[in-house]
């Protein structure tokens, strides 16, 4: 039988277990999942559930949802972390590494290629038209995200109040995203500990309906694999290795290039993002837009929309848009390097510091996952954070709308910062009409994200070329 052995710990030296799933077969399945992982975290989780639970019957419904609940508690992309967790559960350390890396690889390569086209051919009418159309579709997708997350998270007035407070804090008061999430999590934790019913949650992305596949009827079975039992020595060793792989490049860039170099700023900013970005991809985008656009000036608001359009139309986690941000940041501040070489290094560096922490969170915590089962205070914290994220995503939708539908935006100074205020006379009629059409397609006719993105891109290209 193929094994999942790893040199990191003796606990990983036994065979892959009694489930009879060869590692090479699992690798092919993870590659298939990665190639099909369109549509954001909900779609990606649904693909994993369909293939791993319903089709392959490698794990059961209970274990799948338990792993998902744990991943929902973590910062970063829950779909990729779920892949790492299940890969580790099936084939130990090596299985988790393979599953997590394959989940990211197709999207990384696709966005890297699109980024090259963007900087080299971005002013060609066809390319301009494609991204013009994508912006309108992306606005509809973000509005859809507000509605979907809100319908799941805002079950009572307390949750609605948290969402409203988060929106006011980030839109009107320029409050930092990490502070909003910390405050919401603390409120939820206290509410959960106090037994307040308003903080009872669930949440997360549903795994889908249909037949329930129980753990006892799957290859892995109900028993806890030996390597999944708590092992402090293994957790300490693997955590130390991953922490070194994550932070050593950041420290090296600081010592060799200094704090003002673009590569160090990319490494430090996205490392910070990896720690504080609870709530999924759209919450990440709100944070990146706030900092990368307004604070660092790495790209313009419309370019942020273009990057999201790339991430929406390629497989992999939506936060792969951060790769595009790092690409442009390094491209425009290449120093002695060729701009394209600098941009490529910036994209690789961004991806590295964004996703290596995901492996750390899973490998450090997965052996102790059973201790989190039924922890009401942590579940309540997640419920409150999810409610706050609705307000954050609403801010993102409004920010995108202002910069998509209006040609001119001015800054209005406030006591706590500034507001983006559109110049009403600069409204872009074609963009507005296309955005309305995209919203109707998404909400009235329930058309999927990819067809809407494709249709809007085609219409945008035709408009720019013909007009």
Q: Tens digit of pLDDT for each residue in 152-193?
A: 778 899 999 999 999 999 888 888 877 888 899 899 999 989
Q: Is 117 helix (H, G, I), strand (E, B) or coil?
A: helix
Return the biggest CA–CA distance within the chain: 69
| Residue in the block written with tokens 């992999």 | 316
Cα-based distances in Å from 383 to 45, 72, 92, 181: 19, 10, 30, 11
What is the spatial distance between Cα 455 and Cα 405, in angstroms, rounded to a whole number?
A: 18
- Number of domains composing the chain: 1
Contact 346/326 with Cβ under 8 angstroms? yes
Q: For 427, which DSSP code?
A: B
Of 319, 370, 334, nearest in space to 261 by CA: 334
What is the spatial distance between Cα 121 and Cα 83, in angstroms, rounded to a whole number?
A: 35
- Per-residue pLDDT of 424-436, as tens digits, reads 999 999 999 999 9
Provide the pLDDT confidence category of residue 459 given band limits of 50, 70 and 90: very high
Q: Does residue 419 form part of some domain?
A: yes
- Per-residue pLDDT at 11: 38
**Mean pLDDT across the chain:** 85
Q: Is the pLDDT of residue 149 over 80?
A: no
- Per-residue pLDDT of 227-278, as tens digits, reads 777 778 888 899 999 999 999 999 999 999 999 999 999 999 999 988 877 7
- Per-residue pLDDT at 344: 98
Of 349, 332, 359, nearest in space to 94 by CA: 359
CB atoms within 10 A of CB 86: 28
Average pLDDT over residues 372-393: 78
What is the spatial distance between Cα 226 and Cα 211, in angstroms, rounded to a whole number?
A: 29
Average pLDDT over residues 326-346: 96
Q: Does residue 365 form part of some domain?
A: yes
What is the spatial distance between Cα 138 and Cα 442, in angstroms, rounded to a whole number?
A: 11
Q: Does residue 210 form part of some domain?
A: no
- Is 342 or 192 the better-scoring residue by pLDDT? 342
Provide the pLDDT confidence category of residue 373 given band limits of 50, 70 and 90: low
Q: Does residue 221 form part of some domain?
A: no
Encode burial over 47-84: b for 16+ CB neighbours within 10 A, e otherwise.
bbbbbbbeebebbbbebbebbbbbbbbbbbbbbbbbbb
Average pLDDT over residues 424-450: 92
Q: Does residue 219 form part of some domain?
A: no
CB atoms within 10 A of CB 6: 20
What is the domain extent for residue 135? 17-202+229-466
- Per-residue pLDDT of 4-55, as tens digits, reads 333 333 334 334 456 788 999 999 999 999 988 865 676 688 788 889 988 9
Q: Does residue 359 form part of some domain?
A: yes
């Amino acid at each position: 039988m193929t094994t999942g052995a790893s040199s990191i710990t003796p606990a990983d030296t036994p065979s892959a277990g009694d489930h009879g799933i060869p590692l090479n077969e699992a690798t092919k399945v993870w590659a298939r999942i990665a190639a099909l992982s369109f549509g954001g975290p909900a779609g990606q989780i649904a693909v994993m559930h369909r293939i791993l639970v319903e089709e392959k019957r490698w794990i059961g419904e209970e274990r799948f949802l338990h792993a998902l609940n744990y991943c929902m508690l973590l910062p970063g992309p829950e779909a990729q972390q779920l892949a790492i967790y299940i890969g580790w559960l099936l084939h130990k350390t090596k299985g988790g590494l393979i599953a997590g890396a394959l989940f990211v690889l197709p999207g990384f390569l696709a966005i890297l290629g699109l980024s090259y086209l963007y900087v080299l051919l971005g002013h060609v009418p066809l390319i301009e038209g494609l991204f013009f159309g994508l912006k309108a579709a992306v606005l509809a997708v973000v509005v859809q995200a507000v509605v979907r997350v809100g319908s799941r998270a805002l079950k009572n007035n307390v949750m609605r109040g948290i969402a409203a407070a988060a929106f006011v804090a980030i839109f009107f008061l320029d409050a930092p995203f990490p502070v909003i999430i910390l405050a919401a999590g603390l409120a939820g934790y206290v509410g959960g500990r106090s037994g307040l019913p308003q903080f009872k949650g669930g949440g997360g992305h549903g795994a889908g309906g249909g037949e329930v596949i129980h753990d006892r009827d799957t290859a892995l079975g109900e028993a806890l694999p030996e390597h999944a039992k708590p092992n402090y020595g293994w957790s300490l060793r693997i955590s130390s290795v991953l922490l070194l792989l994550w932070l050593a490049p950041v420290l090296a860039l600081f010592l060799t290039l200094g704090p003002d170099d673009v590569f160090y700023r990319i490494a430090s900013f996205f490392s910070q993002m990896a720690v504080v970005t609870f709530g999924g991809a759209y919450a990440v985008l709100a944070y990146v837009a706030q900092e990368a656009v307004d604070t660092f000036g790495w790209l313009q608001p419309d370019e942020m929309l273009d990057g999201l359009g790339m991430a929406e139309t390629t497989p992999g986690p939506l936060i792969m848009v951060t790769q595009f941000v790092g690409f442009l940041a390094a491209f425009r501040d290449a120093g002695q390097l060729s701009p394209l070489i600098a941009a490529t290094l910036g994209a690789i560096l961004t991806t590295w510091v964004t996703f290596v922490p995901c492996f750390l969170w899973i490998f450090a915590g997965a052996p102790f996952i059973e201790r989190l089962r039924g922890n009401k205070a942590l579940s309540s914290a997640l419920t409150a954070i999810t409610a706050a994220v609705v307000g954050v995503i609403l801010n993102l939708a409004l920010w995108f709308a202002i910069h998509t539908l209006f040609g001119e935006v001015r800054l209005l100074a406030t006591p706590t910062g500034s507001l983006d205020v559109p110049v009403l006379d600069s409204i872009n009629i074609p963009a507005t009409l296309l955005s309305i059409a995209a919203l109707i397609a998404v909400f009235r006719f329930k058309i999927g994200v990819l067809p809407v993105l494709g249709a809007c891109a085609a219409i945008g290209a035709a408009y720019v070329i013909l007009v």
